[in-house]
Structure 1
Amino acid sequence: MLREATPDDVHLMLSWRNQETNRQVSKTSHEITPDEHTRWWSAVRVDPTRRVLVYLRDGVPSGVVTFFDLRLDEPRSGSWGFYLDADGLAGRGETLPAWLEVMREAVDHAFDHLGLERLDGEVLAHNTVVRQMNRRFRFVEGSPRTELSDGREITVIPISLHRDNRRRR
């Protein structure tokens, strides 16, 4: 289940985002400071083009889904990303089922709740597991591009999914 993030979730979100597993597959790989996170949270709370949701697995907060660059005029589109409580889910042996569930719920939220026609995102080229999962959900990869981020060169691959191509439950 997805629900709107609240100020009570801020510390959990920061702890999950700073887990090594999540930093390795993010464009920003440094450890996020509490001040950086506070600035981010203050900005997203008042930005009408952003949504921050908490993913609940069996009632337990277990991840974050963000929607950004939302364009709610025609054609309706937006971008998204997510990260999970990798350490907590791994400890409970729930990583794969949670991963499938959060992706399904995020895609459903984008198309059924936000009413988007197209959902965009990005994945790092070395993140082959996520790339495979994206294909399973029928995301299409675009042309890779090289960027510098946190002092390292990364290859970023844009992805997109059109409402008509989504996998239905």
Structure 2
Amino acid sequence: MLRQATDEDVDTIRALRNQQANRDVSITTHEISAEEHAGWWAKTSVDPSRRVLIYERDGRTAGVVNFFDLDAGTGAWGFFLDADGLAETGETLPAWIEVMKEATGYAFDTLGLDELTGEVLEHNTVVRQMNRRFRFTEGEPELRYADGRELTVIPIKLSRADRRKPKETR
């Protein structure tokens, strides 16, 4: 289930984002300080071009979905899971599939987007494979520098027409 993030979620969002597994596959890999995170939330929580959602699984917070640059039928997204908690319970893959289904559904059905974009690091082959499973296409890789390292970042895109249709419930 996805729900809107609130002020009460801020510490949990930061804790999940700072998990080593999430930092390893992010463009910025440093540990986010409380001050930096508070500044981000202060801007993000009032920005009409953004949505921050909490992904809940079995009644507990299991991830965060960010939508940003929302404008006239287009938007970008990213997400991270509770890598540590889900690994302990053996639920990483089912949670990953579920959050992608719910997030793409939210993008197209709730936000009404026609196109959803994002980015993935070239070395993150598992995520790239999952993105293809969900019919995202990759664009031309680009070199970036962040946190003192060179990265190859690959843009991804999914159009409403190309998305996997949700299975109908009977």
- Do the two structures share a fold, i.e. TM-score over 0.5? yes
Identity within the alignment, %: 63
**2:39 match:** 39
**2:69 match:** 69
**1:142 match:** 139
SS of aligned partner of 2:31: coil
Q: What is the aligned counterpart of 2:114 among 106, 110, 117?
A: 117
Q: Give the deviation of 1:86 after TM superposition.
A: 0.3
Q: Give the deviation of 1:59 after TM superposition.
A: 1.4
**1:81 match:** 78
The 5 A counterparts of 1:126-141 are 126-141=123-138
Q: What is the aligned counterpart of 1:99 among 87, 96, 99?
A: 96
Q: Which amino acid aligns with 1:35?
A: E
Runs of 4+ in 1 over 3 A off after TM superposition: none
Q: Which amino acid aligns with 1:127?
A: N
Q: Give the deviation of 1:21 after TM superposition.
A: 0.2
Q: Which amino acid aligns with 2:46?
A: V
1:61-90: per-residue Cα shift (whole Å, max 9, x none)?
11000000000x3xx100000000100000
Q: Which amino acid aligns with 1:47?
A: D
SS of aligned partner of 1:104: helix
Q: Equivalents in 1 of 2:164, 2:146: separation in Å? A: 33
SS of aligned partner of 2:56: strand
**1:167 match:** 164
Gaps of 5+ in 2: none
Q: Equivalents in 2 of 1:152, 1:36: separation in Å? A: 21
TM-score by length of 2: 0.97
Q: Equivalents in 1 of 2:95, 2:120: separation in Å? A: 19
TM-score by length of 1: 0.97
**1:11 match:** 11
Q: Equivalents in 1 of 2:102, 2:11: separation in Å? A: 23
Q: Which amino acid aligns with 1:145?
A: E
Q: Which amino acid aligns with 1:86?
A: A
1:94-133: per-residue Cα shift (whole Å, max 9, x none)?
0000000000000000000000000000000000000000
Q: Give the deviation of 1:24 after TM superposition.
A: 0.5
**2:87 match:** 90
Aligned residues: 166
